[in-house]
Structure 1
Amino acid sequence: MQEPLSITIGQYSDQGAKDRNDDSYGVLVPEGALLDNKGIAAAIADGLSVSQAAKEASETCIKSFLADYYDAPASWAARTAASRVLSATNRWLNGQSLARFGSDLDMASTFSGLVLKGGAAFIFHVGDSRIALLRGGVLEPLTQAHKISSEAGREFLSRAMGAGTHLDVDYRTLALETGDIFFFSTDGLHDYVSDDEVARCIEASDGDFDKAAQELVEQALAEGSPDNVTCQIIRVDAVGTRDEDAFHKTLTELPFPPDLEAGMRLDGYRIIRELHLSPRSQVYLAVDDETGDKLVLKTPSVNYRDDPVFLECFSREEWVGQTVASPHVARTIVPKRQRQFLYTLVEYVEGQTLGQWMADNPSPELNAVRDIVDQIIVGVRALHRKEIIHQDLKPDNIMIDRDGTVKIVDFGSVRILGLEEAAPEFAPEHAMGTVGYVAPELVNGSRANQQSDLYAIAAITYEMLTGELPYRRGFQSARQVKKAAYQSLRQVRPDVPTWVDGALEKAVSKDPATRQAALSELAVDLRKANVNFTSTDRPFIEKNPVAFWQTVSCLLFLALLLALWTR
């Protein structure tokens, strides 16, 4: 089993010739699940000398980054979490600067941050502090100073935290190797000590990085640095990616449940009846013997007992239902009693699946469809805000209760960007989802994202109105994607406005870049006429390609008969 992510740290800072030290720096190494899911964070900041509250600015950058990054949802990717934390910190600094000093630059600082997670390094940078990588005896800068030169030859920072309401953060990622050394420094050091000297000093330190950091700071001061001088050294002792065999073992410590039948009990839950059976799982209606509450009990299929990717997805399902709070996302339930088997509990929704609703309403009113789609979009947006992609939206995974409230269920196929980033080895290699609702780009090898969920919602909307899918059978190969053509829903539902058909045609475009940019845009396009979709002046082959080619074939046949007749 591999060791968890671990590092060795060295730090030193000196105010130098200045009256105060406006530099700040720090590292946070969490334990347990936070270390697995969020990794290790480190940063350095240099308060601008022109700022009246330079030290407060640099300290705020470091403390906010190290604290708020770990408070962000584990489902968020490192880039999303860090970017949002830095943007919020930037707005706070700028607001405080204006309120207290009447200036944009009185609470400003540089910032360079690093997150080590899932075998990768994620770097975030603003200003002229620096992060460099020492690997193979060579020190390579990973960040670039944001400076501009005046006509007089003086240099000024072009970017800084707190210097305006808009923040542009440089982002970079690279794969980690055991033994990698990251060197953080402020300009008071790297402007006066060469990269070769930094590399020599670190490699000669024999792992005493505090001593090496102090020597480098003292050398910068000896070279005439007039600034505060700070550096931080971090060596990666273990990359910490999870070991597949060990992780698989933890997932399978709980045995798979036996085949369940009505009347049987499992951990205090009495089985009422089977609700759904698939090759991947069994779903039952159950009652909690202690409370009398009805709930849904989902068990994994024994077919996947030795599949770590499936087990990872199954284990995440409970987490998703606990993490996402929305009236349109089914809530998962943590068992009150000691769990003896592997299963998931989900709130019981008394009602019917959207598939059943469609069977009962083969020609629904457009407004009824809009009401359901609006609720689906609200639920999916709640998932997306946590950077969770459902990947298997379809009528059977959407419930409608007796009050007409729509709830999204079944999170066994979700893609969680933050957790996938922490453990990329457990990401599925192939597209998840159900043929007919899987976006064409996934069949061609792309990874699922918000656009692929948008496609699925549009396909469901089309099916609700027509009883068919926009490309009929969907896609299972790149060849099928290439040959498929959109079928206008007005062939089946001529009462539906042209602009609604146009909105859905855009949403299920085979090119995700030409779809609506956001789910909210799709919702608006389905309710308000978009001038881009109101024109009926389209070629017949585009409006109805099947009828076009049928007409062409008929005309060719008639021409052949005429030619034979006149011979």
Structure 2
Amino acid sequence: MTLRLSVGQHSEAGRKPLNQDFHGVAQPTDAQRRSRGIALAIADGISSSAVSQVASAAAVRGFLEDYYGTSEAWTVGRAAQCVLAATNAWLHAQTQRGDGRFDKDRGHVCSFSALVFKGREVHLLHVGDTRAYRLHPGALEQLSQDHRVRVDGQTYLGRALGVSPHLEIDHACWPAEVGETFVLATDGAYEHLDAARVHEVLAGSGADLQAASEALVAAALAAGSPDNATVMLARVEALPAALAPAVNRDGLRLPPRLAPRQDFEGYRVVRELHTSARSQVVLAVDAGGREWALKLPSAELATSTRELDRFAIEEWVARRIDSPHVIKAAPADARREHLFSAMEFVQGQTLAQWMTDHPAPGLDEVREIIGQIARGLQALHRKEMLHQDLRPENLIIDRQSTVVLIDLASAHVAGLSEGMGGGLGDAKPRDIAGTLQYTAPEYFSGDGGTPLSELFSLAVLAYQMLTGALPYGLEVTQVRGPRDLHKLHYVPLRTRRPDLPEWLDRVLRKALQPQPVRRQQALSEFVHDLHAPGPEFTTRDRTPLQQRHPLLFWRGLTLVFGLATVVLLGLRASGR
């Protein structure tokens, strides 16, 4: 099953000489429908402006065209915000160049609402006083909020496109259901229609939503509407399966086990690099002699949809990231018959091997490596992706000392994960996908991952590179809820490396806070603190020893009591 809608739309100028409303429905390809959904948009120019019809047309056309040009890795909310922010900037610039510079009521200003149906969810994007409704038996549920301000008995738009250089868009998301009908309308229509009239028209039009939209506009004008009137109707006819794979792998067969000198899908196998119960990784060369690492799923995964999806998504992610610190995928030049991933073969050593060779590295060496890893993670985060399996074995330092993130099979892509009916909109990852000892506590407590979770994992790596140990041992893996976060005991860096500066311990302690809100709030901030710590870290710490080093405090206290006991016993014995 795929997403399918029935749509009807109609607009009339009514008693006015010019129609300042505008509306439209996207006609996406099958691939766009899967990745970005189906979008409908409506805009209403303000009556006081002679150019607001330009604004409403630009808003709808710009959204429907540019939304499908955004990365399929982005969520609907981020994609819409970026597109509408660009449209708003253009409209505001036109307003500043014309009569609207001193009177916004004469500028390039309009209200805007859009519905985006993606997967099993429907998203609302809204600013102004156009409206979105959901139809219920005998009632209309208003989904949008009117951004109107009343001053001295007069009503004005509090928010709209083109008014200000800064734009705040309402975004909401709900699970969609087959058979639901949604309505988009301008005030010239909805102010003269009620739920009974809408139901009457729809009942009389049957399945013909185009006839229904025309009849509703006619009914609004007949009821005395003095304004332009526009109505859009959308009925959900079909929804995709609840557990549709993130990336299409239909028709691909599981590959055979490969051996040296074997030809496979345009490659010749050189040797096996790694094998496990889940996969086989081989070194192969293409027709041009370039080396590639091919990862193939094992036959045991034939019934594991989730694991097979990982093989499909790894190349998909790699092709959308352009960074020297993230592994690259082989060109997709020919149609494949088997499910596998082909990634560049990076010659070098893993970070795990580097740590074995450098048991007590200098701070400068560690900072350089951490900075490169951070740049690779930032490239993923800009596309709303999380690596989710940051560990020494998934980082390679090549012969030019460039650190490369590999193994993207656990990557979370927000834009691919949303739309499965939860109505969350942000598609936040909840499941633990990576190696436990490097996973942030919020995954274990059920709060899910964010870029700050990867900051935590990066700080774990930094701590381990410097000390050879983990900051919390294996305590993080025992977290089962928010209350368990208070039981985590951070082992101070200088108890293992007293030669390192105190401020470094404070920087790492902050990055490794169990609560994300108490960490640095960006990877760049953490990297900056490692190079140029501010007063927060360099000022002498006046926190009581019991809070800074609880284990050391209680050990010392026990030692003092023990010595006191020995002294007292000695005095008692000598007195006797």
Task: Tell me the TM-score normalised to structure 2 length.
Answer: 0.92
Structure 1 residues 183-194: aligned runs within 5 Å: 183-194=183-194
Contact 1:438–1:474 (CA under 8 A) maintained in structure 2 = no
Query: Which residue pairs with 1:350 in the alignment?
Result: 347
- Contact 1:431/1:445 (CA < 8 Å) preserved in 2? no
In 2, Cα distance between equivalents of 1:210 and 1:381: 46
- Shift in Å at residue 258 of structure 1? 3.0
Contact kept? 1:255, 1:340, Cα under 8 Å: yes
In the alignment, does 2:409 pair up with 1:382?
no
Stretch of structure 1 that moved more, 215-224 or 108-117: 215-224
Once the two structures are overlaid, the 10-residue window that deviates more, 424-433 or 485-494, is 424-433
Instruction: Please say if residues 77 and 417 of structure 1, whose CA atoms lie closer than 8 Å, have aligned partners that are also in contact.
Output: yes
Contact kept? 2:44, 2:111, Cα under 8 Å: yes
CA distance in 2, matches of 1:554, 1:249: 61
- The one-character-per-residue Cα deviations of 1:308-349 (angstroms, maximum 9, x if unpaired) are 112112211010010111111110113545534321111111
* Other-structure match for 2:531: 527
CA–CA distance in 2 between the matches of 1:62 and 1:128? Answer: 15
Q: Deviations over 1:127-164 (max 9, x none)?
A: 0000100033421010111111111x110100110111
Q: Deviations over 1:171-225 (max 9, x none)?
A: 1111111111111110011112223322332233212222222222122222221
Distance of aligned partners of 1:37 and 1:87 in 2 relative to their CA distance in 1, 3 Å threshold: same
Q: For 1:173, give the aligned amino acid.
A: C
Q: State the identity %.
A: 39
Give the letter for the 2:208 counterpart: D
1:30-429 matches, cutoff 5 A: 30-101=28-99, 103=101, 104-105=104-105, 106-151=107-152, 153-241=153-241, 251=249, 253-288=251-286, 290-423=287-420
1:335–1:113 Cα change, 3 Å: closer
The one-letter code sitting in structure 2 at the alignment partner of 1:420 is S
> Which residue in 2 is equivalent to 1:506?
510
Mark the CA change 1:182 to 1:451 in structure 2 (over 3 Å): closer, same or farther: same
Specify whether residues 249 and 372 from structure 1 end up closer, same or farther in structure 2 by C-alpha distance, changes over 3 A only: closer
**How far apart are the structure 2 equivalents of 1:509 and 1:54?**
51
- Deviation at residue 517 of structure 1 after TM alignment: 1.1
Q: Which range moves more in the overlay, 160-169 or 477-486?
A: 477-486
Query: CA separation in 1, counterparts of 2:391 and 2:562?
Result: 42
- CA change 1:276–1:448 in 2 (3 A) is farther
TM-fit CA distance, 1:541: 2.8
- Residue 547 of structure 1 corresponds to 552
Q: Give 1:297 shift.
A: 1.0
Secondary structure of 1:286's counterpart equals strand
Distance 1:211 1:63, change over 3 A: same
- 1:22 paired to 2:27: no
* Aligned AA (1:53): V
Deviations 1:275-309 (A, max 9, x none): 33444333222222x11111111112333221111
Distance (Å, rounded) in 2 between the aligned partners of 1:12 and 1:249: 36
Q: 1:428 to 1:164 in 2, by over 3 A?
A: closer
Q: Following the alignment from structure 2 to structure 1, what is the Cα–Cα distance between the partners of residues 148 and 338?
A: 60
Shift of 1:242: 5.3
1:367-424 CA deviation, whole Å, 9 max, x = no partner? 2211111111111111111101111111111111111112111110011001001447
2:95 maps to amino acid: S
> What secondary structure does 2:254 align onto?
coil
- Count of residue correspondences: 561
Q: Using a 3 Å threshold, how does the CA distance of structure 1 residues 157 and 335 change in structure 2: closer, same or farther?
A: closer
Q: Name the stretch that deviates more: 478-487 or 315-324.
A: 478-487
SS of the aligned residue for 2:449 comes to: coil
The gaps in structure 2 that reach 5 residues or longer are: none
Cα deviation, residue 473, structure 1: 2.5
In the aligned structure 1, how far is the partner of 2:96 from the partner of 2:247?
A: 56
Tell me, yes or no, if the aligned pair for 2:251 and 2:337 is still in contact at 8 Å: no
Name the structure 2 match of 1:486.
Answer: 490
Please identify, of 491-500 and 342-351, the stretch whose mean Cα deviation from structure 2 is larger.
491-500
Aligned to 2:4: 6
1:214 and 1:171 mapped to 2: Cα distance?
A: 28
Structure 2 CA distance for aligned equivalents of residues 62 and 419 of structure 1 = 25
**Residue of structure 1 in register with 2:436 after alignment:** 435
Counterparts in 2 of 1:183 and 1:373: CA distance versus 1, 3 Å: same
TM-score by length of structure 1 reads 0.93
* Larger CA deviation: 234-243 vs 259-268: 259-268
Higher mean Cα deviation, 192-201 or 320-329?
Answer: 192-201
